[in-house]
A and B are shown apart, each in its own frame.
Chain A
């Protein structure tokens, strides 16, 4: 199997020079020495200690943890064993992702676990002053996330040509879902409706064996799954600042021992759980992520892991996350550069809206980071489809709008086709056109248009005096959602239902 999704290889925009990267690295190492980390997981503390960290048990009536001071040598040695190349598999081999820290090939995907699903309908409104003036305006309805809606999201995301991987964008909160069956249902709902790579956090460590067995059935066996990991995991092992979480650490041990790919992510908020200054938040998140990655390599050298950086900024009026702001881009691109500095594949973020509904504000928020982060060269950019209200809401309509935006951003970042053959051809065209009376190059646009080199106008544009983006996007969404789903084969579904306890019978029909 040598097929992968294309992705976009970009010439990365680099905000930091080598001295600044080295400075951030030194600061991260200094943080890991003093104050060190607050480790709440015994096994992790012992593993760090066995590999040269200074570990002291700190006990107080309100808190018990291991204070772990990690030497630079431990980090350096551990991250050197982390692979630069990772393949993230998919049901359809053509949808696999070729992730290489040394190649800035950019993939965009969804994310991440919002609680609210936002439906949008258009209603006709009549102008009070002039009954002949009518407008179609959106009416939005919030729904609680459910397994059925997750199936719908996966089916829609299968159809979005610019979405390269799927992180479930909505939580399943059905009455018959609890901690024991949450994982098997969220992975089944996703994998049964999309042939792209599926990634999620693990809710319960007890479900890991069932989830992996399900993936093995889909991939064709244990070995086939390791060669084509159709799913992978996200572990946000640090609660910023610098507190290594007990149960997430247990999950990291289990996932790494199962030889499955994993994102070690951290998401400090500049201004509350990290300094707002770029130098501070980036050095801190780097210390957190490197510690998590080091842990994976101490558990099993060579474990496939992504450097998961999701630094955000606090708004200062309510301390919620603020997306679509300069600092978000600055923090994130610094992290992409650091990952490249360490030759680690980077999981990054773009495209979250602060606004609660699709519209002009959201378009601003999203485009601001989509373009910038596409230029960063991060290998794996999540959050990019449908997220509103600072990741609290998923709007399928917005996902359709984002698909168009991401597609144009990808086109924008294509490498320049400038070489001797291209310039020679252009020279010939210039000379030919200058012999004509009209001196128009229009006829010669046809070849690049046919080759896909020339972008299409915005899919939802209007040429009249009205903005009909939402109306057109809704119509397009209807067309996408009417396409038949690409379910797993019936025998695979039967096997899953026979072997994996807890998968809801009704999901078989969706």
Chain B
């Protein structure tokens, strides 16, 4: 496989949403063919630049995926499969990118706040962010306020996303914002919140930066940030 050919194949397999060789694609006939994991590994072995693999192979094709989703050709599973494929490629590429001095789009800390175990929406956002080139630090569910504050402090992350699905737990988002202010960190991190009971009104009330209705809204907000 030529150099150009490998990058093209990576892009095709991102669009097909294939992480590993055994995965099926959006179209038929892909099973047991090399997928993003195998192709990125091969590309590195052949000496391709990590930056080229990232830009020409992984991220450029996500734009195509986004268009397919907008036209209705792709559904959420197709979009997430593509993002997951990019994420798998990023996992392999990251150490090489660091060595080559290529930075990610930034660290994004994400968590479901204390008292709440719901994580489907939070996980979808994490997959999409990773697929978009952000370094995602996922703290998990039922995350205590202190733990979130410490992560922001330690990672020096410019972005924080908080999720809650219960009216009883969404109040804990406000505690995080208050404590960030008290620690003098609020100006250093942009905060997005989400989850069924939350709203822009609630976001304004607690002093977050934005309310995002879904993962796409998070990406749009980041583009504008």
Task: Identify the A interface with B (CB < 8 A).
Answer: 437-440, 442-447, 449-450
Contact = CB atoms under 8 A, between A and B. Distances in A.
Between B26, B123, B126, the greatest number of chain A beta carbons within 10 A of the residue's beta carbon is seen for B123
B78 interface: yes
B76 A442 contact: yes
Contact of A440 (B24, B28, B123): B123
A446 B120 contact: no
Interface string B136-171: 001000000000000000000000000000000000
9 contacts: A437-B123, A437-B138, A438-B126, A438-B127, A439-B119, A440-B124, A442-B81, A443-B17, A450-B28
B135 interface: no
Contacts of B123: 437-440
Nearest to B16: A446
B84 A443 contact: yes
Given A437-B138, A449-B75, A443 B126 contact: no
A439 B84 CA distance: 12
Contacts of A447: 24
Contacts of B127: 438, 440
Cβ-closest 5 pairs across A and B: A438-B123, A443-B81, A445-B77, A442-B77, A442-B80
A450 B16 CA distance: 13
Contact-residue bracket for chain B:
10 to 19
Contact of B80 (A439, A440, A450): A440
Nearest to B28: A450
Interface of B: 17, 19, 24, 26, 28, 75-78, 80-81, 84, 119-120, 123-124, 126-127, 138
Given A437-B126, A438-B126, A443-B81, 12 more contacts: A437-B138, A439-B119, A440-B80, A440-B120, A440-B127, A442-B76, A443-B19, A443-B80, A446-B26, A446-B77, A446-B81, A447-B24
B38 to A, nearest CB: 16
A450 B84 CA distance: 19
B187 to A, nearest CB: 30
Contacts of A439: 119, 123
Contacts of A446: 17, 24, 26, 77-78, 81
A442 B78 CA distance: 9
Nearest to A438: B123
Nearest to B136: A437
A422 to B, nearest CB: 15
A445 B74 CA distance: 13
Nearest to A447: B24
B2 to A, nearest CB: 29
A438 B24 CA distance: 20
A99 B160 CA distance: 62
A447 B75 CA distance: 13
A267 B124 CA distance: 56
Nearest to A444: B77
A68 B77 CA distance: 67
B110 to A, nearest CB: 11
A446 B28 CA distance: 11
Contacts of A445: 77
Contacts of B17: 443, 446
A425 to B, nearest CB: 11
A446 B19 CA distance: 13
Contacts of B80: 440, 442-443
Nearest to B26: A446
A126 to B, nearest CB: 31
A453 to B, nearest CB: 13
Contacts of A449: 75, 77
A508 B127 CA distance: 60
| Most interface-central of A440, A443, A444 (chain B CB within 10 A) | A443
A446 B95 CA distance: 31
B97 to A, nearest CB: 20
A41 to B, nearest CB: 61
A458 to B, nearest CB: 16
B137 to A, nearest CB: 11
Contacts of B76: 442
Q: Which of A437, A438, A439 has the most CB of B within 10 A?
A: A438
Contacts of A444: 77
A438 B78 CA distance: 16
A443 B78 CA distance: 7
Contacts of A437: 123, 126, 138
Nearest to A445: B77
